[in-house]
Amino acid sequence: MDKTKMTPPFFILGSLLAGFSVSMGAFAAHGATKFMTEQQLGWMEKAARYNMYHALALFVVAWALTRWTSQTGLLNAAGWSFVAGVALFSGSLYIMAFTPLRLGYITPFGGVAFVLGWVLLAIVAWKG
């Protein structure tokens, strides 16, 4: 499998998610304090923090795809687990911060996706 075709999606997604995280964090710190409650701001901060951690994890996946080319299946699964985790974990917290919807029952599924991604990376490193 051509490794150059596998790396860019995770590098691009990581870049976009990192930029989004910075934007949301800055908004929470500077613009949202006027109309959000402390609880909403807390959700925003936590969402942006975990969003950033896992944007950086996507860079690790992109790098690992160039190093462990025999493990593309597991690495792709790890990358998409991180993307799903950001969507479910951070996404549900962002929605809760901005709307009256309470999606806290979705947030743990994102956490499970994050853990799965990290476990898959550990397996790749162990096998690598």
Which pLDDT band, with edges at 50, 70 and 90, does 8 fall under? confident
For position 5, what pLDDT does the model report?
A: 54
User: Which residues, other chains included, contact 87 with Cβ-Cβ below 8 Å and sequence gap of 6+?
Assistant: 110
Question: Taking a C-beta distance cutoff of 8 angstroms, is the pair 20, 51 a contact?
Answer: yes
Please tell me the pTM assigned to this model. Answer: 0.92
State pLDDT tens for residues 14-32. Answer: 999 999 999 999 999 898 8
Q: Which domains does the chain have, with CATH numbers?
A: 3-127 (1.20.120)
State pLDDT tens for residues 102-125. Answer: 999 999 999 999 999 999 999 999
